[in-house]
Amino acid sequence: MEQKTKPQIIIGAASSNCGKTTLTMGLLRALRERGLHTQPFKCGPDYIDTKYHTLAAGHESVNLDSWFSSPEHIREIYHHYGKEADILVTEGVMGLFDGYRKMQGSSAEISQILRVPVLLIVNARSTAYSVAPLIYGFKHFCPEINVAGVIFNQIASESHFDYLQQACEDAGVPCFGYLPRLKEIELPSRHLGLTLENKYLFDKFSLRIAEEVEKYIDLNRLITCYTVPFEKKSILPVSTEEKENIKTIIPSLGKTRSLKIAVAQDEAFNFTYRRNMDQLQSYGKINYFSPLSDTQLPEADFVYLPGGYPELYLPQLSDNHSMMQSIRQYIENDGKLLAECGGMMYLARSIKGMDGKTYPMVNVLPIQATMENMKLHLGYRSFVFGGQTYKGHEFHYSTVIEETEKLPSIAQQYNAKGEKVNTPLYQYKSTIAGYTHLYWGETDIFGLMHH
């Protein structure tokens, strides 16, 4: 019988860089070491933090994003992925109330949608009793958001912590402990790529933070205080109408078989959303392949090249001629393929790496990608194609140089404020490629492939 209540925490912060991810990793690992099945979630579109969560918890993390999704969908996937868990831990994004428009898209909005209390982490490195009005403000600013407790980060000493405990007491918010100021529990660079070596480093790192969590945070009291109602909901199955739509898009899909889907997954390509993958799985069988080490594509009706870190593996990708030839042939034969960000770069004529060298790639799109003059491009994106609205997120440091035979964009993309952005969406034969990482947990992605 499913539990009617269970411990559920949203880790919010007073601002960015308070230590949300460090605390989340330590908490997930400490709960795992206690033998608890802990399901991690991440507010917002980030696909790197979810990988850290997965390594720490031993269970795959799930994104909850109110730009991508309706409140009903967020509640649905939260309960679907959390129903087997003993405890649910959600890491917030930026500061608690920071969204793309006031509170819209914020961790606070996710808390409001799910009715899950917030555990506020405060960086107390250069403050003491002055945190009292800050905590009081977070507690009372929006009565619909339950800030049920505080944890402090960057604590210098027990006497420092004493001032902070007094502040919590006077602000009327429980304090569950702190993380000390230790260089060894500061999160390493996010742009490492999850190689086997780095997975090992992150595993050791999460275990080290877990030791500090057990030492300085009252986990038993935290679990008790954050035990709240958990309502049963389930994911809606793929509708018959959607399945029939897919058959018209991919005529080779008959009544007797499901789709053969090939998804790139290795150190170079791994930025995927769990719900996207589960949605694909509902249409057929997924075969994962590696553009780094495999020699050819699996047999497929649809190929997905997600983003990742191709810039860290340019010699290996460029040297794998047989895989590039296999992908090129699939595309030239009008195979359906979706490529996002790093996946799109892989389909370019070449990529100029951070070493200044140019590496030939698959060569089906008349563009060149470069890591020179790296500049961050990020933000929510939306566009309309075939009467359907698609939403996603752009996040990259590379730029694309279009050649003289310019490939026109098939859709105008917009940011969260509804302003036009210069982010192209390319189409070549039955291939769609662009910088935007799309979320299709609540959308029929095969509608985009119908042209």
Q: How many residues does the chain have?
A: 451
Question: In whole angstroms, what separates CA 395 from the centre of its chain?
Answer: 11
DSSP letter, residue 239: P
Distances in Å between the Cα of 18 and the Cα atoms of 57, 137, 149 are 21, 17, 15
DSSP letter, residue 6: E
Q: What token pair was written down for 229?
A: 């109602």
d(CA 121, CA 282): 38
Q: Which has the closest alpha carbon to 77: 27, 118, 43, 100?
A: 43
Give the CB-side neighbour count of residue 112, counting CA atoms within 13 A.
16
Q: What token pair was written down for 385?
A: 């194609």
Contacts of 136 (CB under 8 A, 6+ apart): 171, 172, 173
Helical H segments across 239-320, by residue range: 240-249, 274-283, 314-319
Active site residue 225: no
Among candidate residues 18, 43, 175, 341, the one labeled active-site is 341
Q: What token pair was written down for 14?
A: 């007073």
d(CA 369, CA 361): 10
Where do the DSSP E strands lie in 166-249?
A: 175-180, 227-229
d(CA 261, CA 38): 30
d(CA 410, CA 432): 9
d(CA 400, CA 241): 38
Confirm if 21 and 91 have CB atoms less than 8 A apart.
yes
Where do the DSSP E strands lie in 265-331?
A: 269-271, 284-289, 302-305, 307-308
Between helix 107-114 and helix 71-82 the angle, nearest 10°, is 70
d(CA 336, CA 450): 9
> Which positions are catalytic?
341
